[in-house]
Structure 1
Amino acid sequence: MRVVIFGGTGFVGVNLAGTLLARGHQVTLYDRKQLPVAAERSLAGHAESLGVVQGEITDTERIGAVIGKGCDAIVLGAAITAGEHLERTATESILQINVLAQMPILKAAIRHRVRRVINLSSAAAYGAAGQRYQLLGEQTPCDPVSFYALSKFASERSVARHADLWDRDFLSVRLSAVFGPWERIGKVRDTPSLQFQILAEFSRGEPAILPQPGLKDWIYAADAAEAVAVLLEAERPRHRLYNISSGTAWSALQWGEAFAALHPGLQCRLATPGEKTVIKLHGPDRAPLSIERMAQEFGWRARFGCADSAADLSSWWTKHREESLT
């Protein structure tokens, strides 16, 4: 397939690109930022199947031209992943980029008869429901609170409504807490995973001191990318919404300890009472996502657990340590 990934040079986009290229697809990355040099080198073996277009997500003319060249599928991955700071300082931009900027893309997809569109949403869409239920299925009533959660929930509904009005194969996925290679922070992403923050401390030669264990149904970026690829390749998905998660909860502390065990001299631990730590949690604890819809329909389950992901990211970090924080 010919796949265009909007927000393609971001953290999840780069992982998805690598997965799709390895599966034989042609990929175009559209983003305001350039592809990181290290990522470009990593994908160099697929140079003939990879294109990068630099542009703003609000540039409807350029976006229309990219889609008009011909593509079979689109991934909507451009977003402001906002914590409280960005909520206060970029409220309008969150809604503009995460919801309204999708409209011209969806219209172009309809006009050019794009086979499938997948909107990368977030478990944040469940909002306060995450504290009221023990397991979050796709049919669990949502209660989004933050502007980021509201924007993601609205994006799902917008994509679904376009699909209904024009009878198109458009769907959304709710990603759980993603971490892995190529993660970085920036002006549109101020909620780095605990794993990223742990590695940042390790890279500075400091112990990783966590304020809390950080228990979540974390999902490794390679697994998230594989799940999206499965949905892109599926003949006809039966639903318009899918949860993507490891399906198993474990703590960032446990992960950090497993990672540190592979590198003598590194330490990951909880802060002692009154001890300060630069590592920050983002958002309250929530129930894990149910992955039964993906498992039953496609036989998909995450391959990486706590120890496996620590070992895999250790290999990547060892190779890209100097570039991992830029």
Structure 2
Amino acid sequence: MTVFITGSSGFVGLALTEHLLARGDTVIGFDRHPPRESACRAFAALPGRFVPLTGDVRDADALEAAMRAHRPSRLVTLAAITADAQRERAMPQTIFEVNVGGVLAALHAASRSGGIGRVVHISSGSVYGESGRDHARRLVEEITPLAPEGLYGISKRAAEDAARRIAGLYGLPLTIGRLGTCFGPWEADSGVRDTLSAPLQVLECTRRGDTAILPRAHRRDWLYVRDAAAAIVALLDTPALAHDLYNLAAGFAWSVVDWCERLAARDPRIAWRIASPDDTPNIDYYAPYDRAPMDIARLVADTPFVPHFDLAHAEADFHRWLDTPT
């Protein structure tokens, strides 16, 4: 299978590419920035074939030329700007140009180049927004009201609606996956991801020898990125999907305190605490509340996906990855 991925040099893009290459697929990676050298070295050792292309996801002509040249059978739209409030104030139009316009450009290119058997558009759990404040219920596709609170979530909701409309006009087979909060291998400050995951922030802080000061315990259904990649691949592979929208999430939850305790058990020198009234936290959370978990019953029922990385397995795998020379 040949898979075309926009945003391939980003966090989830690299993890998805690695997963596909490991099983022998061909990946055409399209991104404004080339993949980091360590990723290229890791990918070269895998059985699949990786073709990195540099281009702007808003450029439909460049996307079409690349698709015509490489004839992919699947398209995954991952390119996005994950914006914080500062970026919202500085470049609101660009956020929408990439997060919405980039998706439409990719679909337009796919319709003109032909041969795409399935498009998987990666949306985000951020579309649920304020609905996530209600912990009495899980976040369920097409049931939970969408109430995004920032431009990232608003643009992702708009991209879902626009992608459905354009895919319908072009006759493209579209599936939407709402991605949960990811962490794990390949995560880094890419310039378009303004808040790194709390687990990575804690790791970086403690590896510098600093004390991690948490605003609160922060319980969430953290999604290890290897499971995220497996969930996306399940949408790519399953011959007949019963729905066009799926939550891609972990199915279980734990807190940043649990993460810190796990790290401290590995290395007793690690220091952390929950901030006192006189403290200034140095770990930045996505929101001032803990979001309700995303329901994955539909994904598990309709595809072979099963999450494998609970807290213990994720922590162990992440350290193996961090400690392996690349």
Considering the TM-score relative to the shorter chain, is it more than 0.5?
yes
Who is 2:294 aligned against? 289
Answer yes or no: is the 8 Å Cα contact 2:2–2:27 preserved in 1.
Answer: yes
Who is 2:75 aligned against? 74
Mapped partners of 1:202, 1:37: distance in 2 = 25
Identify which range, 176-185 or 266-275, moves more after superposition.
266-275
**Aligned 1:1-326 pairs, distance under 5 A:** 1-46=1-46, 49-69=49-69, 70-111=71-112, 112-132=114-134, 134-139=137-142, 140-283=144-287, 284-319=289-324
CA deviation after TM superposition for structure 1 residue 272, in Å: 2.9
Give the SS at the match of 1:74.
Answer: strand
Mapped partners of 1:305, 1:2: distance in 2 = 30
CA deviation after TM superposition for structure 1 residue 259, in Å: 2.3
CA deviation after TM superposition for structure 1 residue 166, in Å: 3.2
Moved over 6 A (4+): none
Give the SS at the match of 1:316.
Answer: helix
- The TM-score normalised by the length of structure 2 is 0.94
Give the SS at the match of 1:261.
Answer: helix
Mapped partners of 1:217, 1:141: distance in 2 = 19
Mapped partners of 1:127, 1:310: distance in 2 = 28
- Over residues 1-54 of structure 1, what are the superposed CA-to-partner deviations in whole Å (9 max), with x where a residue is unaligned? 100110001100000001111122100111111211111222121376111011
Mapped partners of 2:145, 2:23: distance in 1 = 35
Mapped partners of 1:210, 1:224: distance in 2 = 25
Mapped partners of 1:31, 1:309: distance in 2 = 27
Mapped partners of 1:214, 1:63: distance in 2 = 40
Count of aligned pairs between the two proteins: 321
Mapped partners of 1:19, 1:11: distance in 2 = 13
Answer yes or no: is the 8 Å Cα contact 1:259–1:314 preserved in 2.
Answer: no
Mapped partners of 1:271, 1:318: distance in 2 = 30
Matched to 1:95, the amino acid is F
Point out where structure 2 has 5 or more consecutive residues left out of the alignment.
Answer: none
Identify which range, 10-19 or 280-289, moves more after superposition.
280-289
CA deviation after TM superposition for structure 1 residue 116, in Å: 0.9
Mapped partners of 1:151, 1:8: distance in 2 = 20
Mapped partners of 2:33, 2:109: distance in 1 = 22
Mapped partners of 2:24, 2:273: distance in 1 = 42
- Over residues 166-215 of structure 1, what are the superposed CA-to-partner deviations in whole Å (9 max), with x where a residue is unaligned? 33211111111100011112431101100110111022121222111121
- Over residues 43-68 of structure 1, what are the superposed CA-to-partner deviations in whole Å (9 max), with x where a residue is unaligned? 12137611101112223322111111
Give the SS at the match of 1:29.
Answer: strand
Answer yes or no: is the 8 Å Cα contact 1:194–1:214 preserved in 2.
Answer: no
Identity, % of aligned pairs?
36
CA RMSD of superposed structures (Å): 1.6
Answer yes or no: is the 8 Å Cα contact 1:257–1:267 preserved in 2.
Answer: no
- The TM-score normalised by the length of structure 1 is 0.94
